[in-house]
Structure 1
């Protein structure tokens, strides 16, 4: 029986966190900062350590990996974009939009996992799509309903249809794709990652339906969520800009469920939304303002879920 959540989370402690101009071209959540790179990285490390401390305190098993100093990788703190793991022992490597982010892919991480007793039966490498400028950025692009084998994805420069269909075929997932837009400085632009506007937990679905452009596609998403028994919690475009869609449900060692979201996301939610989530899971709230501001990613992006079986 497949599960939606895991208590095993891999996180990469940054060595050179900072603003990445390559990704900023279509990630409008990133903001530049006048502080020096060392100060910024130090602040990010402090926020990262606080986040790990919170998860450990809540009973989540965190596999901590240190980023390598060279080559410099400003976004190594977001490992969910370059790989995903699955209960049948598969690991998938994903094609990345930004050339400098491709340096984040590290096979030694899989050796670390195997040494800890996880079984990897197959590594499926989709990075060949980069040769044709076709991208699919892991669980940034893909919102996986692992229980029902449905994948939700908003089309963008980082989420192309050909690798998306390929993923659906090899993993036997039904694909629900759609256009999702946002208004930035008065201009309409595609949302770069699906996990900015959507989260699927065991029983809940947090989704910014307002961002889905076509009424027919909005209806399709709603129908799939209802059909698969998810309690829908709509969020507004304003809440989405505070990373309210960027959540992840994890388990602790006793099987208790936690929805992890940043302080910015939590503060943006209304009381009814919070109470609805708490009806199904506890909530864990790390404070990561530096990481959100310069990296343009939030709590979900920092956690790579380990679903691999133990040997």
Structure 2
């Protein structure tokens, strides 16, 4: 069982912009007043292409899919929210909070993966939960410890505890639920996705423990990480705003480990944090300023990890 992979699925954007349907509870999104929609798309595309190039340079296999203009899916650049891939050939399809994000789910992508030699055994489809207004947004909501079979999940309007438990029963994981908060206009509100405040690698976890108000929940989460021998690298609530929690450990050429993050995340790291992270892989950073500002997501959200077996 592997915790990290060499292969990621990425969606090249066509109509990227700030998604008005997600901004109601994604407080990281910003309106860039001085830019036209065309300029925002162009900048996002440049950032995306540069990022893909950097990943390929280090030997990461990027399965690149073009977005479809007709569906008008401004957040398609973040595929890890609607699909997850597993080593036994299972695929998870997830219920999405924003109606226009539900259009991102595409069957043709599964066909492309099969054409590339990946084996899909079974599709576990949770999307009917949208009818009950229950959501669980893939590996944005679920931080999976695939080796120790634990699913860390920051409960929020986009992460239902009922669905977390259902997922854990289906995929044989132990649920580790908690609520993670950020301060907006002096009010503590839930952080919308777990992978904004936490990252899980082979032997470490980056986490904003301060964002978990409930001491029991915080203690329980940290105990799970310690029991599994993870080095805990804490980040501040301020750093979360720079997407410092939104990084991903990947395997590159010659089985080398890399830490992938945005330039804003990289710049926010202290020297001590950086040194501790470098023990787990060389740092690869790429500027994602437009994507972060308009999309409210960063490097990790853009990569759907592929663990499927090859036929």
TM-score, scaled relative to structure 2: 0.99
Match of 1:307 in 2: 307
Runs of 4+ in 1 over 3 A off after TM superposition: none
* 1:86-235 mapped onto 2 (5 Å cutoff): 86-235=86-235
In terms of mean alpha carbon deviation, does 234-243 or 29-38 score higher? 29-38
After TM superposition, give the deviation of residue 280 of structure 1 in Å: 1.7
Q: Which residue of 1 aligns with 2:3?
A: 4
Q: Secondary structure at the match of 1:182?
A: strand
Preserved CA contact (<8 Å) 1:13 1:67: yes
1:253 aligns with 2:253: yes
Q: Is the 8 A contact 2:180 2:212 kept in 1?
A: yes
Secondary structure in structure 2 of the residue aligned to 1:157:
coil
User: Given that residues 61 and 253 in structure 1 are in contact (C-alpha distance below 8 angstroms), is that contact kept between their aligned partners in structure 2?
Assistant: no
- Alpha-carbon distance in 1 for matches of 2:147, 2:283: 21
Give the Cα–Cα distance (whole angstroms) in 2 for the partners of residues 95 and 164 of structure 1. Answer: 12
Q: Distance in 2 between matches of 1:111 and 1:54?
A: 26
Question: What whole-Å deviation, never above 9, does each CA across 1:51-108 have from its counterpart, x for those lacking one?
Answer: 0010011111111100011111100000000000000000100000001100000010
- Please name the residue that 2:13 is paired with: 14
Q: Deviations over 1:250-282 (max 9, x none)?
A: 101311111111000011110000000101211
After superposition, the CA RMSD in angstroms is 0.6
* Partner SS, residue 91 of structure 1: strand
Structure-2 separation of matches of 1:253 and 1:123:
30
Name the count of aligned residue pairs: 310
Distance between the aligned counterparts of 1:107 and 1:244, measured in 2? 32
Alignment check: 8 A CA contact 1:85 1:307 kept? yes
The residue number in structure 2 matching 1:276 is 276
| Aligned position for 1:73 | 73
Q: For 2:244 and 2:157, how far apart are their aligned partners in 1? A: 22
1:213 is displaced (CA, Å) by: 1.0
Secondary structure at the counterpart of residue 163 of structure 2: helix
TM-score by length of 1: 0.99
Contact (CA 8 Å) 2:259, 2:280: kept in 1 or not? no
CA distance in 2, matches of 1:147, 1:259: 19
Q: Give the equivalent residue in structure 2 for 1:84.
A: 84
Q: Say which is worse superposed, 20-29 or 185-194, in terms of deviation.
A: 185-194
Matched residues in 2 for 1:108 and 1:280: separation?
A: 35
2:195 and 2:130 mapped to 1: Cα distance?
21
Which residue in 2 is equivalent to 1:264?
A: 264
